Amino acid sequence: MSGSLALPEQSEDVRARFARIKAREEILQVRGLVKRVPSGSGERTILGGIDLVTHRREFLCVVGPSGCGKSTLIRTIAGLEEAQGGDILVTGRPVHGPGPDRAMVFQGYTLFPWLSVLRNVMFGLEMAGLPKAEADRQARQWLTLVGLEPYADAYPAQLSGGMKQRVAIARALAIQPRILLMDEPFSALDARTRARMQAYLVDIWRKIDVTILFITHDLDEAVLLADRILVLKANPGEVVELMEVPALRPPGGRSLDDPALEATLARLESLIHAHEQAGAEDDEPAPPVVKLDSVGHGVD
Amino acid sequence: MAEAAIPQPAGARKSRPVSAGWFAVGRAPSPRARLILGVLSFLLPLAIWSAVSYLPFLWHPLIEITDPGDVAYFEKGMRAPGDAFAAEVEAAKAGGQAPPQGVPANPVYLPAPHEVAVALWKAVFPAEGGGTSLLGAFWHSVQIIFWAFLISSAVGVPLGVLCGAYSSIGRLTEPFVEFFRYLPAPAFGALAVAVLGIYDGPKIAIVVIGTFFQQVLIIAATTRRVEYALLEAAQTLGARNLRLVRRVVVPAILPDLYNDQRILLGWAWTYLIVAELVGTSSGITFFITQQARYQHFENVYAAILILGVVGFGSDLLLARLGRWLFPWKATSA
Ligand SMILES: Nc1ncnc2c1ncn2[C@@H]1O[C@H](COP(=O)(O)OP(=O)(O)O)[C@@H](O)[C@H]1O
Ligand SMILES: [Mg+2]
């Protein structure tokens, strides 16, 4: 249906990179995941059979219209919710409840307000039974990685939103999960902070051995961050497409000016738009649009 | 403070109400104004009390006899109704006898501020071997409260937290507790005396009964208000079961739990007054009833004032202590 907006052919380098990624072991396997919730007298299907595989050290983004079940998907993978059907395997082991092979960063700030920054990062390590001195040492290393070592003794309430999410990332990574689950972690931040956080995250991800499953409703963000992008539709939540972003990761980070990314973005938009019209649930009236070419001349 | 940084449009300043000082609706007064208002809220009642006590033309319905004259049933120091006194004066004059003399006075149950102040002074710095000790009675009451609150909290707080954290425990416990809460604690007086004797045992028991059941319900409700996202975050970091309760639920609710305890302590004091009348009367209540029986109302007021000052003062102190104990809460506000 979106044939007119096909992705550009992958370059030699990009193809080689995806070949390398796919050759790696599979960290997360989701097969036929079904999630239903009671609704009125009957049931409502939120996720109608999701299939998904991520490879080691892959960065996978999930996008889709609001209410399509992105949070439900990631929370089920985290073990915070139960599925009604299908399997979730992490490094081959089935998921029953939360576990140290998966860590999560939430959209809201979920740092423990009564613990200092350092003690927040130590929390998971202490739960894993590490002696305090060792937990302290490791936590400081993770804080250094996110650039917040100087704030080790501050309380979360004293930090800005971006800093809080950096601590949350350090806290999640400290338990050394195989996969980091992130549910719209930057959507509460202002645009400038968000851009900085995206760069931070890619930087950290390149330094350590972790796979990232990153949910966002911001298509720009998905295109800038992801190796592959899983596009979902709503009612019920189903996979529309698993898209390979046909771009490398230049040292300074990706730019939206890259034609390959522009094309990816256009395709994402058309996919989501098509399905939003198909299953419009909570459609807001579209804002009036003034077409630039109808104004006649540009601003200069 | 932060508002200063926001540039305001030119017209904004003009639109502010001119008299936005002390009587602006819904606006918080400045710290200085708050202090002044706070002091005034105590000085105003004191001024009214002083006026009624010291201005002879305000109220003063009685006449305190300074010289009984020839009236047989008048004595020096007794207070007679104004019209009865006037009638006796008329009668004495008509009969050629010496008329009684007197000054306007208030009823004995309204002593003047200075009389209460003297009583307070004597209570705090008693003369050697001087009568019943207010402070001694008060100290006895404090001990009853201390033990009762300790016993109630030792069971009530953990049980409340468990009821809030585990809905199965809550469902098992709370209906009965809810029912028991409606049974008036003083009704258990006779039972408590039968079981625990006539001294401090039944008094402590009644304060415990009055406090405990409220405590379980209030603390369970507070525990249920814990932010669910924090519990989920902790679970993804490996916290489970009792460790989740101990390391996340309890610290998360601690400031609120502390405030609950402050309020419950205030309630415990109100049960004390009933409890102290059970068995052999004791403590501050015994002191008050006894002094009232002898019409030493200045001592009654002194005792009530001490109760108020200690209650109010300790609550202020506990509030301060709370801010010091939970700095992470204060910084977020
Ligand atoms: N426990 C639940 N009970 C009922 N409805 C739910 C529950 N969890 C999620 N939903 C519904 O499922 C849909 C998907 O929610 P969510 O996963 O949060 O979407 P997204 O994160 O993509 O915006 C929403 O319509 C939401 O109302
Ligand atoms: Mg969501």
In a domain, A210, yes or no: yes
Same domain flag for A233 and A273: yes
Q: SS3 for B251?
A: helix
User: Cβ–Cβ of B238/A175 closer than 8 Å?
Assistant: yes
Q: A300 in a domain, yes or no? A: no
**Gap between the Cα atoms of B331 and B37, Å rounded:** 27
The pLDDT value given to residue A132: 96
Interface test with B, best of A82, A112, A213 (most B CBs within 10 A): A112
Q: What is the 3-state secondary structure (H, E, C) of A52-73?
A: EEEECCCEEEEECCCCCCHHHH
* Contact B239/A at CB under 8 A: yes
A94 forms beta bridges with: A89
Task: Report which ligand 1 atom has the smallest distance to the Cα of A81.
Answer: 1
Task: Return the ligand 1 atom nearest residue A215 CA.
Answer: 21
Query: How close A242 comes to chain B (CA, Å)?
Result: 27
Residues 312-331 of B with CB under 8 A from A: 326-329, 331
Indicate whether A161 and A182 sit together in one domain.
no
Ligand 2 centroid to Cα of residue B229, in Å, is 13
Same domain, yes or no, for A85 and A24? Answer: yes
A78 and chain B: CB distance < 8 Å anywhere?
Answer: yes
Q: Summarize pLDDT for A184-229 with one digit per residue, the tens.
A: 999 999 999 999 999 999 999 999 999 999 999 999 999 999 999 9
B103, containing H or E segment:
strand B101-105
**In the prediction, which pLDDT does A212 show?**
97
Q: Which ligand is nearest to the CA of A230?
A: 1
With CA atoms as reference, the chain A residue closest to B235 would be A98
One domain, residues A230 and A169: no
d(CA B311, CA A58): 63
Sequence letter at residue B115: E
pLDDT of res. A52: 95
At B130, the amino acid letter reads G
What's residue A288's pLDDT? 56
Query: Do A196 and A216 fall into the same domain?
Result: yes
In a domain, A6, yes or no: no
CA distance A295 to B141: 84
Same structural domain, A231 and A183: yes
* DSSP, res B132: S
Whole-angstrom distance, CA of residue A157 vs CA of residue A162: 12
Domain hosting A171: range is 108-176
| Same-domain check for residues A224 and A137 | no
Here the tokens at position A260 are: 């390959």
Is residue A279 in contact with ligand 1, taking CB distance under 6 Å?
Answer: no
User: Which protein residue's CA is at the shortest distance from atom 16 of ligand 1?
Assistant: A69
CA of A238 to the centre of ligand 2 (A): 15
Which of A139, A158, A176 is the last residue in one of the domains?
A176
Around ion ligand 2, residues with a beta carbon closer than 5 Å are A 71
Q: Is residue A199 part of a domain?
A: yes
| One domain for residues A162 and A30 | no
Please give the residue of chain A at the shortest CA–CA distance from B227.
Answer: A110
Provide φ and ψ at B104, rounded to 5°.
-60, 140
A178 touches chain B (CB under 8 A): no
Residue A98 is nearest to which of B235, B247, B327, comparing CB atoms?
B235
Please tell me the distance from the alpha carbon of residue A117 to that of residue B40, in angstroms, as a whole number: 44
User: A28 lies in a domain?
Assistant: yes
Q: Is the dihedral of CA B26, B31, B32, B35 positive or negative?
A: positive
Flag whether A293 is in a domain: no
Ligand 1 atom 21: the closest Cα is on which residue? A71
Q: Say whether B328 and A157 touch across the interface (CB within 8 A).
A: yes
Whether A286 is in a domain gets the answer: no
A282 CB contacts (<8 Å, ≥6 apart)? A66, A67
pLDDT tens by residue, chain B, 333 residues: 444 444 444 444 445 555 556 677 877 778 898 899 999 999 999 999 999 999 999 999 999 999 988 888 888 889 999 898 999 899 988 988 888 999 999 998 999 999 999 988 888 887 766 556 788 888 999 999 999 999 999 999 999 999 999 999 999 999 999 999 999 888 888 899 889 988 899 999 999 999 999 999 999 999 999 999 999 999 999 999 999 999 999 999 999 999 999 999 988 988 988 888 887 888 888 889 888 999 889 999 999 998 889 888 998 999 999 999 998 885 443
Tell me which of A176, A198, A229 is where a domain ends.
Answer: A176
**Residue ending a domain, choose from A158, A176, A194:** A176
Is A246 an interface residue toward B (CB < 8 Å)?
Answer: no
Query: Does any CB of chain A come closer than 8 Å to the CB of residue B110?
Result: no
Q: Which chain A residue lies closest to B248 (C-alpha atoms)? A: A112
Same domain, A56 and A119: no
Flag if B236 and A104 touch (Cβ within 8 Å).
Answer: yes
Contact: A112, B243; criterion CB under 8 Å: no
Whether pTM exceeds 0.80: yes
- Looking at residue A58, its amino acid is E
Q: Residues in chain A with pLDDT < 70?
A: 1-4, 278-300
Whether ligand 1 lies within 6 angstroms of the CB of A233 is answered as no
Which atom of ligand 1 sits closest to the CA of residue A68? 22
A66 alpha carbon, closest ligand? 1
What is the ipTM for the molecules in this complex? Answer: 0.87
pLDDT at B8: 46
A299 CB burial (10 A radius; 0-12, 13-18, 19+): exposed
Residue A51 sits in the same domain as residue A66: yes
Distance A73 CA to ligand 1 centre (A): 10
Are A120 and A216 members of one domain?
A: no
Residues A44 and A60 reside in one and the same domain: yes
In this structure, is residue A1 part of a structural domain? no
Domain count, chain A: 2
User: Chain A contacts of B327, Cβ < 8 Å?
Assistant: 155
